[in-house]
Structure 1
């Protein structure tokens, strides 16, 4: 990019990855040393609070980007929405009407189940200052300007993942490295089966539709297309979400009174007596 910019004398605007910025926000929110309410697990509380804040910020920014065309107007509204998140989570919705496009406190079916333990967050002044400091660091004016188009590097990372699985970095100086890179790029573009047939044609191998190699190539192509379509279905995404949620709550459920065998259930037998 620098060489192209110096050659054509044009200003190339560089945007940062929106997804990576949200990941860094979530990581630092989890590590913020805040106090949990009495009777709650601190690690679980911080984890769920960080997830709720990241989800809220992501929804605010993506919806504002769809509603607003101008960058300057988007940046102003986005900054107001980010600074209003902690107040909304604390139960104060006075500014949500003008600053938020996600809050549903004005509706009858409003629920706080997305918050830790399904309750409004009670934060002290010190804890709120720590969380707001993290939000200002990753969702400040400059950070919002760097991610104003909400671009991400998913396609680039997918290509690199496929490329270096076919052609590891240890083979950079090998003669077959260029061919492996071409094969990986072609496989990502047209599919594994069709890329195999095209490479065979380039090498001078004539493959007919009745040959076993052609049938195997089309079989792998159809299998890959089937899995790609299956992963786009709502049922698959729901099952992945439920399995992820089950793994996230595994630490809490391990000592549940209603799970036998459990150390707590052995100490308190009345915890699993559901007959009465």
Structure 2
């Protein structure tokens, strides 16, 4: 069963890797086209073709991301795969290899998480390339009779600003990892006080971090909802009313903590 799931997952991964490599080359080539004041017709056609290819690549990357999120969500489900046999012996064999299957599933989820991050970076690079291939190229060609020096200075200034933004963008993205609205796979990908919500609609589905930030003594269903330094505590003998509190040594004798770091909250 594990091999069947692995084969089903590896096919979109190969397609994803090929798309990422081809998109990276396309973005690199497009980013090198900084328009001077005058452009021949061949350059106009080339840049239009580059824009069309960028749009197609971006659409394909979105489709691949949705496939990865769907696969990731199915891996989080305890009974996501079909049962091949119904005899008691096959169930015992499945339980015997349970730990190995959990480890394999965890490793695969980590790989999917890395690939989703690569897709995010590629999309940002595509947006940067589209800003370079901006509409001011058209205005430059239509007003070629004007003095070229002010336009050249403006284009150079915009290009330098875009290059500076690209250099600092990865640092900004890393600092925002796990904040409200960023992508996630499970609760552990979000910051304290944030939970990973899997939003399912008729058209698409996505997983994002949502801030809760519950204060002390507020009712909770998972530790991800509580603010920093607080945990979701469920007293012994009370299966319905857990609340946020600071952890203490006596809590182990009086109840348990609720924190499912590898799960998500599904919003239909």
Per residue, is there more helix in 1 or in 2? 1
Q: TM-score, normalised by structure 2?
A: 0.29
More strand by share: 2
